Amino acid sequence: MMILVTGGAGFIGANFVLDWLAKSDEPLVNLDVLTYAGNLDTLRTLDGDQRHVFVRGSIGDSELVTQLLTQYKPRAVINFAAESHVDRSIHGPEDFIQTNIVGTFHLLEAVRAYWGELEEDSRQNFRMLHVSTDEVYGSLTKDEPAFTETHRYEPNSPYSASKAASDHLVRAYHHTYGLPVLTTNCSNNYGPYHFPEKLIPLMIVNALAGKTLPVYGDGQQIRDWLYVKDHCSAIRRVLESGKLGEVYNVGGWNEKPNIEIVHTICALLDELRPRPDGASYRSQITYVTDRPGHDRRYAIDASKLQRELNWKPAETFETGIRKTVQWYLDNQDWVVNVQSGNYRDWVEKNYNERHA
């Protein structure tokens, strides 16, 4: 038995791969094209581990995906591969359309052909799990109830629109061809190996480097945070026991305004790595021009997953964020390695035009 993971060198995919191989001996093929967000450093502890087969390539390369499916005969495919950063999708949407929509389409086609040729038993047991996001549901006002699985799709950024399109394709392949799919829509993740273009790692890395902490707009936008290992455990649970064709929302019941997140990070750093001048890291906070079309609030109702599949997160926000800050303090080498020229170009592009 074997599984195929796509995008397994990115933040969540790599956490999933490490977690999977820590918990089971079932090998996996990891297909990742290694964009700026893919990083083999994250998987270094698996060097020489026969259970991990890394293949550099794209989900959009039908020939390669078909070859991998035929060669390794996975019992499941888990699709993490995507362009994932909202701000990048605003600066340049095309990659998002290519990977998240066209790439997912090619992956679905290759998987459908493979699944169609399997023997009855394997056909029955095969699963394709598509990893998606709460952003497809759009934005909530302060008092609206959290997103359930039946909430209308109202994506607002090129990123969320491309993820919404991929979700619809996955749904259609189940409805039309009977492909045994599962979809998870998760809230904001945080934890180890998070690329420092996203809010939490960017704030930690900038704080330690003595740089400004750029809070978009009024900082009152709300996100619902889940520790990445809890997302991984939810995916495993849905893969094992989810009902075919169903969607499961994944979240940690941890809604927080952005500014509160930044204050929490500053307080943890003040405690764990005080600034030499004795001032608080809070003094580095700068309010900057808002993200265009910025969604005000996300909140996930994960009660279906809890009720039907008996899943709940292991971490609270307080335990998860402390582990995360400590991880970044302990893994400065990883941080330095991902801050390549490409990273510096992005930081310049995204932040130089935002006025304080």
Tell me which residues touch ligand DAU (CB under 6 A): 84-86, 133-135, 187-188, 198-199, 202, 214-216, 221, 223, 258, 291, 298
Interface with ligand NAD, residue 133, by CB under 6 A: yes
Shortest Cβ 169–ligand DAU spacing (Å): 17
Out of ligand NAD, ligand DAU, none, what residue 60 binds, judged by CB under 5 to 8 A for its kind, is ligand NAD
Interface with ligand NAD, residue 225, by CB under 6 A: no
Q: Specify the stretch interacting with ligand NAD by CB under 6 A; choose among 33-41, 263-271, 321-329, 332-340.
A: 33-41
Q: Specify the stretch interacting with ligand NAD by CB under 6 A; choose among 109-117, 185-193, 254-262, 313-321.
A: 185-193
Out of ligand NAD, ligand DAU, none, what residue 199 binds, judged by CB under 5 to 8 A for its kind, is ligand DAU
For tokens 């993971």, name the residue: 5
Q: Specify the stretch interacting with ligand NAD by CB under 6 A; choose among 56-64, 110-118, 137-145, 339-347.
A: 56-64
Please tell me the distance from the alpha carbon of residue 73 to that of residue 114, in angstroms, as a whole number. Answer: 9
The DSSP secondary structure of 136-191, one letter per residue, reads GG----TTSPPB-TTSPP---SHHHHHHHHHHHHHHHHHHHH---EEEEEE-EEES
Of 8 and 180, which has the nearer Cβ to ligand DAU? 8
Please tell me the distance from the alpha carbon of residue 135 to that of residue 171, in angstroms, as a whole number. Answer: 17
For tokens 């598509």, name the residue: 130
Shortest Cβ 309–ligand NAD spacing (Å): 18
Please tell me the distance from the alpha carbon of residue 352 to that of residue 74, in angstroms, as a whole number. Answer: 46
Answer for the pair 87, 157: CB distance below 8 angstroms, yes or no.
no
* Letter string b/e over residues 69-95, b meaning 16 or more CB atoms within 10 A of that residue's CB: beebebbbbbbbbbbbbbbbbbeebeb
Token pair recorded at residue 136: 């497809």
Token pair recorded at residue 268: 């943890």
Shortest Cβ 111–ligand NAD spacing (Å): 14
Residue 159 annotated among the catalytic residues of the structure: yes
Interface with ligand NAD, residue 6, by CB under 6 A: yes
Interface with ligand NAD, residue 10, by CB under 6 A: yes
Shortest Cβ 109–ligand NAD spacing (Å): 14
β-sheet bridge partners, residue 56: 32
Shortest Cβ 113–ligand NAD spacing (Å): 18
Q: Specify the stretch interacting with ligand NAD by CB under 6 A; choose among 34-42, 136-144, 213-221, 326-334.
A: 34-42
Interface with ligand NAD, residue 34, by CB under 6 A: yes
Phi, psi of 279 (to 5 degrees): -75, 160
Interface with ligand NAD, residue 138, by CB under 6 A: no
The DSSP element (H or E) to which 215 belongs, if any, is strand 213-216
Residue 330 annotated among the catalytic residues of the structure: no
Of 108 and 204, which has the nearer Cβ to ligand DAU? 204
Q: Which of 32, 83, 114, 135 is catalytic?
A: 135
Q: x/- site string to ligand NAD, residues 158 to 177, per CB under 6 A?
A: -----x--------------
Out of ligand DAU, ligand NAD, none, what residue 192 binds, judged by CB under 5 to 8 A for its kind, is none
**Alpha-carbon distance values, 315 to 146, 191, 343 (Å):** 20, 11, 30
Please tell me the distance from the alpha carbon of residue 302 to that of residue 149, in angstroms, as a whole number. Answer: 9
Answer for the pair 11, 228: CB distance below 8 angstroms, yes or no.
yes
Please tell me the distance from the alpha carbon of residue 163 to that of residue 134, in angstroms, as a whole number. Answer: 10
Residue 134 annotated among the catalytic residues of the structure: yes
Phi, psi of 247 (to 5 degrees): -110, 140
Which positions touch ligand NAD (CB under 6 A)?
Answer: 6-7, 9-13, 31-35, 37-38, 58-60, 80-82, 84, 99, 103, 131, 133, 163, 186, 188-189, 195
Which residues are identified as catalytic? 134-135, 159
